[in-house]
Amino acid sequence: MSDLDWLLVGALGVETGPVLAALEGRHVHNRRLMSGRLGGARVAVLTCGVGPARAEQRTRSALQAVRVGAVVSFGTCGALVDHLDVGEVIAVSEVRFQDRCRELTPLASLRPVICQTVSEAVWSAARRDQLAAAGAEICEMEAFAVSRAAGALPFHAVKVVSDHAGGTVDPAVGKPREKNPLVIGRFLARAARLSKQDLLPALVAAVASGTTATG
């Protein structure tokens, strides 16, 4: 059992890869969980896979392997409102799933937003409008589940906008719903780029600041 400052949980390898590459003194716990130093903080990084079930189960397992002071869900998200641009890094002030919600302490200096965790990706304009009308500003598939696994530990979520879920199609990527390998490849390439150039610096700054206020 390790004593660390943070557990950082991302879904996709393209999201966690830049963080893992930045770790100093990397130690491999298993194929999904590694630890080391990031921005001077002692962290573990978990690649949990996509979706609420995997996120909760694998975060619980990781927390049995490492002892941490706080948990962060990080990665890409879809914007449900037009005032959020692709590439913007935001902090979650409230995370929702179905009829449940949890208020969080947003990480300093980032725009606070309301996040809707979903079980299925938001493809349609009708679903986008429905979630936005209820107050959600972004959607993704893991944050609430990670927060459940974190239990009483301080929990935060920081995300980078990768697309406008159910909104205007980005000609540089296409329609992810088409399940076309080329479209998926373009999306993953964008997610990797945004995770490295935009999300990673914000994450390093957050963990280096030592912010572990209870959310």
Q: Where are the domains of the chain?
A: 2-209
Q: What is the pLDDT of residue 180?
A: 80
**Residues ≥6 apart with Cβ < 8 Å to 205:** 39, 109
Mean pLDDT per 10-residue interval, the chain, length 215 residues: 88 97 96 95 97 98 96 97 94 96 87 96 91 97 98 96 85 71 88 96 88 43
Q: What is the pLDDT of residue 212?
A: 46
Q: Are residues 137 and 122 in contact, defined by beta-carbon separation less than 8 angstroms?
A: no
204 — phi, psi (to 5°)? -60, -45
Question: Which CATH number fits the domain 2-209, given the four candidates 3.40.50.1580, 3.40.50.620, 3.40.630.40, 3.30.365.10?
Answer: 3.40.50.1580
The reply to whether the predicted model has a pTM over 0.85 is yes
Q: What is the pLDDT of residue 118?
A: 97
Q: What is the pLDDT of residue 156?
A: 96
Query: Three-state SS for 200?
Result: helix
Alpha helical stretches, state H, 66-151: 125-133, 143-150
Q: What is the pLDDT of residue 214?
A: 37
What sign has the CA pseudo-torsion 89, 187, 47, 36? negative
Q: What is the pLDDT of residue 133?
A: 96
Distances (CA, A) of 87 to 13, 29, 149, 208: 18, 31, 28, 22
